[in-house]
Structure 1
Amino acid sequence: MTGRRKEGDPSLVRDQVLSFMKDHARAGAQRRQTRAPSPSVAHAATAFSDLPEYKQIMAQETAGELLGIGNPFFRSHEGAASATTVVDGRSLINFASYDYLGFNRHPEVLRASKDAIERYGISASASRVVAGERPAHHELEEKLASFYEAEAAVVFVSGYLTNVTTIGTLLGPEDLILHDEFIHNSALVGAKLSGAHRRWFRHNDVAELEKILQSTEGRYRRVLVVVEGVYSMDGDIADLPKLIELKSRFGFWLMVDEAHALGVIGKTGRGTSEHTGCNPRDVDIWMGTLSKTTASCGGYIAGSKALVTLLKGAAGGFVYSVGLAPALAASARTALELIDREPERVARMQSNGKLFFELARARGLDTGVSVGCSVIPLIVGDSMRAAQLSNDLLAAGINVMPIIHPAVPEGLARLRFFITSEHTPQQIEFTVATTAEKLQALVSRNFGVGSVDIEAVLRRMAGES
């Protein structure tokens, strides 16, 4: 819906703040240009504090201070975080952990990590190409390949790096990358750095993707389509059968990011292919992270032997980066083995996700397009309201983080609940009920961006210039 916005509209106030920030930055730049050069420094570099990106962050912080909102980010956890955690000496119900199957403190995972440290030390100490290769890497890669029924797999030191370096290696200026509008930032950065042409399609809209493929057919050397199995911000699932059908007609490479799907969906936790009944070999590039279900760190690619050979020989993020720490490789491999041996964890996590989702919907909470698995967002809309709701829940004994712009589009701020196998039904019931009550209290007070004293924000920022 469109139309004229009235004075006091939260979006109008936000735009005023952002507009001021831009004008403030421009004015500062003009002032610097008119100043006489320093006798000792003829060409001073721009101060980081004068950058518009910095001004935007400071405007958000200033508005938060005026509303009395404590910074909800960078909370320090005093131990291993799973279904519960400890912050500032308080035990909290925790919905801010990727430990979907509770492997972070599993005795076998800890033992595998400790044994690897005893044998290999802390670090691989070099790039795997020159001196960092260890048996633990091969064991993990073989397990990942079998998980996806792929010919081979390769692991990297970072999940973010995995997307950046893989896309950058495979695509170039003569190519086209098509991606879901809600794809992870790491894929966007990889696409930009590759130099390839890039277009997005509406979220999970395979019909629009087909139209783009029709209009661009034959114009590019290579075409890559990138989607997520379970979307990290919205908690819904890619339409893999339709994507594979399009692939059979248009001949593009299909890349699926399984960061939040591995061990989460599918009867045995095999991810998107098992959940949708598709043959995993119909996907060219399976990508995922080791920091979620496998309670480790790093990323991986699974696919054909040729793909993996190419990445091991040409991907800068592999060739020029230190090898994955052997202890991390060993713990991730053990977690994958436990998914096979302890399937009840997958079933329990899926049951918990369904319970949370159904209770939230029953209380009238907006869960967006989530299907109720590992990621369940609560759409709040207003960034200030989302931050305060997170703080109110913290005071009530619940740790859950707000997601605000630029991580999500303006007007779609949310709390993002990560569901694990270790949450109890009682914890879930208490959390949903408390969240509904705290949110209603904020709505009743009209708490949010519209409550900001815009003049105070302007005075505070002007005083800091």
Structure 2
Amino acid sequence: MTEGVRSSDEALDVVTRVRQALAQPSAGAERAPLRPTQVAAAEERRRFDFGTLPEYEVLKLQKAAGEIAGIENPFYRLHDGRAAETTSVEGREVINFSSYDYLGLNGHPDVGAAAKAAIDKFGTSVGASRLTAGERQVHRDLEALLAELHGVEDALSFVSGHATNVSVIGGLLGPDDLLVSDTLIHNSVVEGAKLSGAKRILCSHGDVEAIERALRLNRRRHRRALIIVEGLYSMDGDMPDLAALVRLKRRYDAWLMVDEAHSVGVLGTTGRGIAEEQGVDPADVDIWMGTLSKALASTGGYVAGSRKLIELLKYTSPGFVYSVGGCPSVAAAASAAIEVMRREPWRLEKLRQNGQAFVAGAKARGLDVGLSIGASVVPIIVGNSPNAVILSHRLLARGYNVIPIIFPGVAENQSRLRFFITSRHTSEHIDGVLDAIAEELPEIRKAPSFINVVAGR
């Protein structure tokens, strides 16, 4: 099989074959006309057949097109061992740029020992929601560390980062409220906004003037307003202007929420995030949100802020109140990771050096890193989905694991490979993968893309 179509005629042939393959009836299918009652019964069954959903039809078309064109599915590959700067993919050791172990703490002996000690003391589950019988000191210890890390009064940990945003936003806002967010905000914010029923306004990426305009034109018609941004954007690796957003939230009487999933343990001289990086008083942000699964080598999410906010969420946030408490081992691991980050500042410095080296090296080779500031997230913009998938496949063959981000995750012309940089990557890792991209990408771009034809565009 080839790695992509090589001519317009072949592209059209691929489309024809895909559509014919999807239209083929099952072997031995009957052609006799159906009676009206049979037709009605068949239509009733189709209503409950997941395979007839439009979304499933799209998946089938994409899968069939990829198989015919020889584009290997890059998703759900089986990995073995721990997530680190290297990984074993289907039995083969490769350099890994797709795990967000930013500080290299996954597998750190102190982090592992803390998790094991918590299992020995508490078992593998607290067996209840924290509201009832699931509260443990290990939860409170972690939350005290998180509050101190952000420079605020209190914090509350959740079992999932995605669920944190969904539950907090869905609970704090209602149909009479306004939510203003960046167009590239994470899906968890989108889902939380849907749950709340609030009016949602998307503003072009990084455009403070657009946020100001949205508030100026809409704030008076709504009970409450919430501005949400990411501390470090997970797709582009850039930052918002936090001080400007603080001024807007004061001017228009709004809450300001910052999702620090990818910026805690990355930005700031001591890893405290975007407030430390940009010299903003953390008390000026109403809601700090973060995850334990990135730099802190654990699992879950959290919110940090005032005592009143945390007390409110403890008793009203559905994703906290009606969920089992976090595993003690998870909380203990995250606490230990924070302590190691404090004791070993070289990890932050090495991460910064690696991020800057990656961006500089990419630009020197004529590669497009988009808006990335060279922290922990750096995209290489490829320009369309098939080419991004093919490049990922070729890099894996050369010993580098990096996953493509394709439409609809990003706009088609912004399809990319997203690199997660860690403190444990070496200059050989970085130079090697950049050299490989510089060699492979021009060759891949010589082949025409058939994605628009397949989609009927």
What is the TM-score with the length of structure 1 in the denominator? 0.89
Corresponding position: 1:202 with 2:201 = no
The equivalences for 1:20-39 within 5 A come to 36-37=37-38
Measure how far apart 1:149 and its partner are: 1.0
| Structure-to-structure mapping, 1:179-198, within 5 angstroms | 179-198=181-200
Alignment of 1:449-464 (within 5 A): 449=450, 454=454
For 1:210-221, what aligned pairs fall within 5 Å after superposition? Answer: 210-221=212-223
Does structure 1 residue 148 correspond to structure 2 residue 138?
A: no
Residue aligning to 1:84: 86
Question: Secondary structure in 2 aligned to 1:365?
Answer: coil
Matches of 2:35 and 2:280 in 1, distance apart? 64
Quote the Cα distance in structure 1 between the aligned partners of 2:383 and 2:36: 43
1:438 counterpart residue number = 440
Offset at 1:39? Answer: 8.7
- The answer to whether the Cα contact below 8 Å between 1:382 and 1:449 also exists between their aligned partners in 2 is no
- The verdict on how the C-alpha distance between 1:226 and 1:35 changes in structure 2, with shifts beyond 3 A counting, is farther
Q: Matched residues in 2 for 1:380 and 1:101: separation? A: 27
- Give the deviation of 1:398 after TM superposition: 0.2
Matching of residue 353 in structure 1 with residue 328 in structure 2: no
The whole-number CA distance in structure 1 between the counterparts of 2:109 and 2:43 is 62
SS of the equivalent of 2:283 reads: helix
SS of the aligned residue for 1:36 comes to helix
SS at match of 1:376: strand
Q: Secondary structure at the match of 2:412?
A: coil
CA distance in 2, matches of 1:379, 1:170: 36
Q: 1:286 aligns with which of 277, 285, 288?
A: 288
Instruction: Report the counterpart of residue 107 of structure 1 in structure 2.
Output: 109
CA contact (8 A) 1:163 1:186 kept: yes
Query: 1:246: how far off?
Result: 1.0
Q: Do the aligned partners of 1:173 and 1:194 also contact (CA within 8 Å) in 2?
A: yes
Instruction: Indicate if the aligned counterparts of 1:128 and 1:323 stay in contact, CA closer than 8 A.
Output: yes
SS, match of residue 191 in structure 2 = helix
User: For residues 214-293 of structure 1, what are the structure 2 equivalents within 5 Å?
Assistant: 214-293=216-295
In structure 2, distance between residues paired with 1:391 and 1:417: 15
The match for 1:413 among 401, 412, 415 is 415
Structure 2 residue aligned with 1:75: 77
Q: Is the 8 A contact 2:180 2:227 kept in 1?
A: yes
Indicate conservation of the 8 Å contact 2:229/2:259, yes or no: yes
On the 8 A contact 1:263/1:269 being kept in 2, the answer is: yes
CA RMSD of aligned residues (A): 2.5
- Whole-angstrom distance in 2 between the partners of 1:268 and 1:39: 66
Check whether the contact 2:145–2:338 (CA below 8 A) recurs between aligned residues.
yes
| Partner amino acid, structure 2, of 1:85 | T
Separation of aligned partners in 1, 2:380 and 2:448: 17
Specify the alignment match of 1:308 in structure 2: 310
- Residue 176 (structure 2) aligns with: 174
Deviation, structure 1 residue 176: 0.4
Q: Is the 8 A contact 1:258 1:271 kept in 2?
A: yes
Post-superposition CA distance 1:403-451 (Å, at most 9, x none) = 111211222111000000000011111111111111111013x253369
Q: CA deviation at 1:212?
A: 1.0
Other-structure match for 1:29? none
Q: Is the 8 A contact 1:8 1:450 kept in 2?
A: no
The answer to whether the 8 A contact 1:376-1:417 is kept is: yes
Residues 148-157 or 35-44, more deviating: 35-44
Go from structure 1 to structure 2 and tell me whether the alpha carbon gap of 1:38 and 1:313 turns closer, same or farther (over 3 Å shift).
same
Partner of 2:97: 95
Write the distance in 2 (CA, Å) between the matches of 1:37 and 1:218.
57
In the alignment, what sits opposite 1:298? Answer: 300
Q: Which residue of 1 aligns with 2:449?
A: 448
2:386–2:451 Cα contact (<8 Å) kept: no
Structure 1 CA distance for aligned equivalents of residues 377 and 348 of structure 2: 14
Amino acid of the structure 2 residue aligned with 1:151: E
1:370-409 matched pairs, under 5 angstroms: 370-409=372-411
Q: Give, in angstroms, the shift of residue 373 of structure 1.
A: 0.7
Amino acid at match of 1:107: P
TM-score, normalised on structure 2? 0.91
Question: Once the 2 structures are TM-superposed, how far is the Cα of residue 344 of structure 1 from its aligned partner?
Answer: 0.5
Q: Kindly, what percent of the aligned residue pairs are identical? A: 50
- Per-residue deviation, residues 98-149 of structure 1 (Å, max 9, x unmatched): 1000110100000000000000001111100111111110000000000111
Q: Distance in 2 between matches of 1:426 and 1:66?
A: 36
Question: What CA distance in whole angstroms lies between the structure 1 residues aligned with 2:41 and 2:385?
Answer: 45
Residue 463 (structure 1) aligns with: none
Deviation at residue 41 of structure 1 after TM alignment? 8.3
Q: How far, CA to CA, are the matches of 2:438 and 2:35 in structure 1?
A: 54
SS of aligned partner of 1:346? helix
Q: Which residue does 1:321 correspond to in 2?
A: 323
Q: Given residue 448 of structure 1, which amino acid in structure 2 is its aligned partner?
A: S
- More moved, 215-224 vs 181-190: 215-224
Inter-CA distance 35–57: structure 2 relative to 1 (3 Å threshold): farther
Say if 2:178 and 2:219, in contact at 8 Å, map to a contact too.
no
- What is the Cα deviation at residue 47 of structure 1? 1.5
Matches within 5 A, 1:37-56: 37=38, 43-44=44-45, 45-56=47-58
Give unmatched runs, 5+ long, in structure 1: 1-6, 25-32, 459-465
Q: Which residue of structure 2 aligns with residue 28 of structure 1?
A: none
Matched length: 434
CA contact (8 A) 1:69 1:387 kept: yes
2:132 to 112, 130, 133: 130
Distance in 2 separating the partners of 1:50 and 1:43: 12
Shift of 1:75: 1.2
